[in-house]
Structure 1
Amino acid sequence: MSTEMLEAEGVENLLVCRDEESGLRSIIAVHDTTLGAALGGVRMRPYPSEDAAVTECTALAEAMTLKAAAAGLDLGGGWSVILGDPRQDKTDALLRAHGRAIATLGGRFIPVNDVGTTQSDIALIGEETSPVCAQDDPSPMTALGVVEGIRACVRHRSGRTDLRGLRVNVQGAGNVGASLVRLLSTEGAHVTVADVLPGRAESVAAETGARVVEPAGLPALECDVLAPCALGGIITGETVGSLRCGVIAGGANNVLDSPERADDLAERDIVYAPDFCVNAGGLIFLAEQLLGHDFDQARTRVLSIGDVIADVLDRAHREGISTTRAAHDLAEARLKS
């Protein structure tokens, strides 16, 4: 195995890893450990280039730093990505090799599953490095936090306190998206769901009664809430004008292609819950597990995400700034303190 530590602006460590025997090509980014060890995902997908993998990895690592800080957690932010198709290229040897690469950071990066990896994958990585988060699936807690964030946004926008009859479009029916559809359906919301992988949206729709549409058209469908729960970067200069929603709040990371896009949303009177605040439920749950706290205590802390979002929305309105700027200020104040 070969690893190369690169200099990169804005991150503490950027590790490029290659292993000929297993075929591993991966990137590990440790963004900031001011508050503690960097916890972050292991994402696997077929990136078009190593540069593209580095770009996404460092952006996600920074988002985790902000997420942990805004949530009041004693954790830093990091991320890792494996280049390859998880349906074809993932092997035990490849995962073990990635684990050995993580081990070179001496516990400064704590991995958890993400797009393209499972808890079983992380457990296998954990045979080569420690600590890892491979216990209970955090996805339902991420979804629970998103529901509370949606509730705060709806209350801010219209004064409503319930979600019954609310039209919510969920983009992505993976672990977080499917959990969110279930929770929203239980609340009486009218849910529309889409996913790029055949069968995933149909499966959760059969269980909940949600409506299924083609993924390409979902973001522009009229609704009360758009909940992105797949890959990031969906709100761009090209797509923002086609949105027909009142609220954006979902489980995906880096939903906006740039921070300035939050100003565009505000100009269109769309309430945006900053992703690194509203989707922090899974991270909070994992942090509570690392501390040895029980499920009920973790769930109570996840429910407080609604209060965080309400505070961000109020601060943005009071100071005349975007919700993204308000959330960044919240996170940066804790990092500086």
Structure 2
Amino acid sequence: MFALMQSTRAHALHLWSDPSTGLRAVVAIHSEQLGPAFGGCRYLPYADDESAISDALHLARNMSYKAALAGLPLGGAKAVILRSPHVENRAALFEAFGRFVDTLQGRLVVAVDSGTSTVDMDCIARSTVHVSSTTAGGDPAPYAAMGVFAGLRATAQARLGSSNLEGLRVALQGLGNVGFALAEQLHAAGAELLVSDLDPGRVRLAVERFNAWPVAHDAVLSTPCDIFTPCGVGPVLSAHSVMQLRCAAVAGAANQQLTGLPVADQLESRGILYAPDTVINSGGLIYVALSHHGQAVEAITEHLARIPSRLTEVFAHAQAENRSPARVAQVLAERLLYG
């Protein structure tokens, strides 16, 4: 456990158990160098405790990088609640988690993430003020999608020579809240959508609303397209799976899309431009952080509008230095975090 903390340079790891509700939770705080740590709260099943801890630590580091590259005065964290097959009282579970968050005295502010909702954040808010994206605060998913959409245009410009998405074939993997909102924006821009999700109902809905083409979950990686857009739970690209890609670029909303930086080098060697998720997928964090501090929607959207220029900066560095954008983004983030 300590070796994993050291490898991710995490500051703290907290474990919490509440037998009365069945709560088993992990909070990893990666950095507080730039400010208090913000992090989503995941509610997913895990094979074992070690997998949950590893996920929390790696995602917390991802959040630190994301905040730094977005120019936010925040640290990074991640909360994970291990999901049991049966939960007697979900509201009580999240209320108990709120009590856990409150013991950290503001070192952590939590938000929605995979498996959680604004209603869950409302339950957390009964026990602590250190929570964002409640029902009153609003769902960050549309803002996350807005940022990714802007980043997709910048990626298309860098790789394909035009930011116009009309007629581009986009293979979108994952139609959750962010993925579906992104599909809506891509359809409005005239992109041809090929969609995949483990939930066939979400696929049918995308086909009906966006004239999308359904693709089998195990075939989406190898489907010919201009841009592959992973929007599910990462990582999805490994040394093996990246060889299946038949696209010009990878740009999506999933966190931690790569199993490691060597995969980014593989993408580079194959001529596939990779938009680092720590840059392109910062819209949700920008929204929850700025709205939590009382910023108006106009200020939030203005901050979101900086995502393409930051991404273009990363691409330019990568081209000039002949290395992958993922490595460039990491160096830039760590320079901001550690000097």
TM-score, length of structure 1 as denominator length:
0.95
State the SS of the aligned residue for 1:219: coil
Structure 2 partner of 1:281: 283
Which residue of structure 2 lines up, in the alignment, with residue 8 of structure 1? 5
SS of residue paired to 1:74: coil
Q: Where does 1:1-337 land on structure 2 (aligned, <5 Å)?
A: 8-9=5-6, 10-85=9-84, 91-133=90-132, 134=134, 135-337=137-339
CA distance in 1, matches of 2:310, 2:334: 15
> Aligned partner of 1:39: which letter?
F
The separation in 1 between residues aligned to 2:4 and 2:150, in whole angstroms, is: 39
Contact 2:102 2:130 (C-alpha < 8 Å) held by counterparts: no
User: Is the partner of 2:163 in helix, strand or coil?
Assistant: coil
Deviation, structure 1 residue 23: 0.6
Against the structure 1 CA distance between its residues 7 and 148, is the aligned structure 2 distance closer, same or farther, given a 3 Å change threshold?
closer
Alignment partners' CA distance in 2, 1:269 and 1:117: 37
Q: Distance between the aligned counterparts of 2:88 and 2:151, measured in 1?
A: 36
Report the Cα distance in structure 2 between the residues aligned to 1:181 and 1:212, rounded to whole angstroms. 13
Contact preservation (8 Å) 2:254, 2:281: yes
- Which amino acid in 1 is paired with 2:123? L
C-alpha distance in 2 between matches for 1:130 and 1:7: 30
String of CA shifts for 1:281-305, please: whole Å, max 9, x gaps: 1111122212322112211211221
Q: Which moved more, 1:271-280 or 1:84-93?
A: 84-93
Q: How many residues align?
A: 333
- TM-score normalised according to structure 2 size: 0.94
Identity %: 37
TM-align CA RMSD: 1.7
Residue 115 of structure 1 aligns to a residue whose secondary structure is coil
Q: Which residue type is aligned with residue 75 of structure 2?
A: G
Alpha-carbon distance in 2 for matches of 1:75, 1:275: 17
Q: Which amino acid aligns with 2:216?
A: E
5+ residue gaps, structure 2: none
Secondary structure at the aligned position of 1:149 is classed as helix
SS in 1 for 2:220: helix
Deviation at 1:183, TM superposition (A): 0.3
Letter aligned with residue 194 of structure 1: S
Structure 1 unaligned segments of length 5 or more: list them.
none
Cα distance, 1:96 vs structure 2: 1.2
Contact in 2 for aligned 1:172/1:201 (Cα 8 Å): no
Q: Secondary structure at the match of 1:11?
A: coil
- Letter paired with 1:239: S
- Cα pair 1:6 1:13 within 8 Å, conserved: no
**Which segment is superposed worse, 240-249 or 195-204?**
195-204
**Distance (Å, rounded) in 1 between the aligned partners of 2:125 and 2:60:** 20
Q: Distance in 1 between matches of 2:237 and 2:24?
A: 29
| 8 Å contact kept, 1:144–1:303 | no
Report Cα offsets for 1:132-168 as digits up to 9, x if no partner.
1121111111111111111111111121121000000
Contact 1:148–1:303 (CA<8 Å) still a contact in 2? yes
Q: Which moved more, 1:59-68 or 1:211-220?
A: 211-220
Distance in 2 of aligned mates of 1:300 and 1:193: 30
Q: SS where residue 261 of structure 2 aligns?
A: coil
Name the aligned partner's letter for residue 258 of structure 1. G
Query: Segments of 4+ in structure 1 off by > 3 A?
Result: 5-8, 85-90
CA distance in 2, matches of 1:256, 1:90: 35
**How far 1:8 moved relative to its partner?**
3.2
Q: Is contact 1:60–1:253 with CA below 8 Å preserved after alignment?
A: yes
SS in 2 for 1:309: helix
Are the aligned partners of 1:67 and 1:280 in contact in 2 as well (CA < 8 Å)?
yes
Question: Would you say the 8 A contact 1:44–1:86 is kept in 2?
Answer: no
Q: Distance in 1 between matches of 2:338 and 2:277?
A: 21
In the alignment, the residues of structure 2 paired with residue 11 and residue 331 of structure 1 have an alpha-carbon distance, to the nearest angstrom, of: 15
